Amino acid sequence: MNSVLDFYAMQEPTVQQTIDIFKEQWSSKLPGQIQSGSADLFEVERVMWPHRMFDITGKSILELGPLEGGQTFALHKLGARTITAIEGNSHAFLKCLIVKELYNLGRANFLYGDIIKYLETTNATFDIIFASGVLYHMTEPLKLLWLIKHHTNRCYIWTHYYDQEILRDIYGDKFSARFGEPIFVSQAGYSCQAYVQYYGEALDWQGYCGGNAPSSLWLTRKDILNYLEYLGFKNIEINNEVLHKREPCFSISAQLC
């Protein structure tokens, strides 16, 4: 059993000692000579495509699910005027605060809370909403897209999507343990099928950074694009459509007419 004294540092302050508050729980490879995670989430190149679409410089940004602040770091580097980042995982939120302090992200403001609840209650609007790596973690994915429409005219989305043929080929006999039967979902007059995705053993990792429930709902590529158009997003562009970590994904930039 841990003692309260275990939470005290016994050496002089260092960057590595700060990072090691969450030792072996980082997903991201942080800039500099730091031992952290392995994912290259702090590369500015990751947001250059939406930057070319929208010109991030001088814009107010709402970032949904910043994870460990990697995309926030990139948006800050590109000159975003303000970044409001909403994170619902308490460990990820605290990591974001560490990143803000280490890399002087003075124009970023991290808030701890549920992104759906935030969008339902705030009256704020933003030049651009970034929803990278969040849609497929939602239990109400259509609702998230509907709420995004009410707070911006421009959004960037990176997400996995459901493609039964591809996913069955990937997971084989484990497919039924990862994905459940389709259910009907609806929002603002639009209805479609969504597919249950189970987190399974990932929930046991202390660095877990998925959704806030044991499962989420995945939409098909077609329904994501159709619903964005249904909401009034006409200028829709697609990029980076690949198999990321073996699962189908793509990037979307969308603007209201």
pLDDT digits (tens, 9 = 90+) for 66-95: 999 999 999 999 999 999 999 999 999 999
- Residue 209 pLDDT > 80: no
Amino acid at the residue 81: R
**Spatial separation of the C-alpha atoms in residues 109 and 83, rounded to whole Å:** 6
- Residue 174 pLDDT > 90: yes
User: Phi then psi for 127, rounded to 5 degrees?
Assistant: -65, -40
- Residue 208 pLDDT > 90: no
The structure's pTM equals 0.94
- Is-contact 37 26, C-beta < 8 A? yes
**Spatial separation of the C-alpha atoms in residues 162 and 72, rounded to whole Å:** 27
Lowest mean pLDDT among 26-35, 46-55, 90-99, 240-249: 240-249
Which pLDDT score is estimated for 1? 66
Q: pLDDT grade, residue 245 (50/70/90)?
A: low
Which pLDDT score is estimated for 202? 80
Domains of the chain are 4-162+221-256 (3.40.50.150)
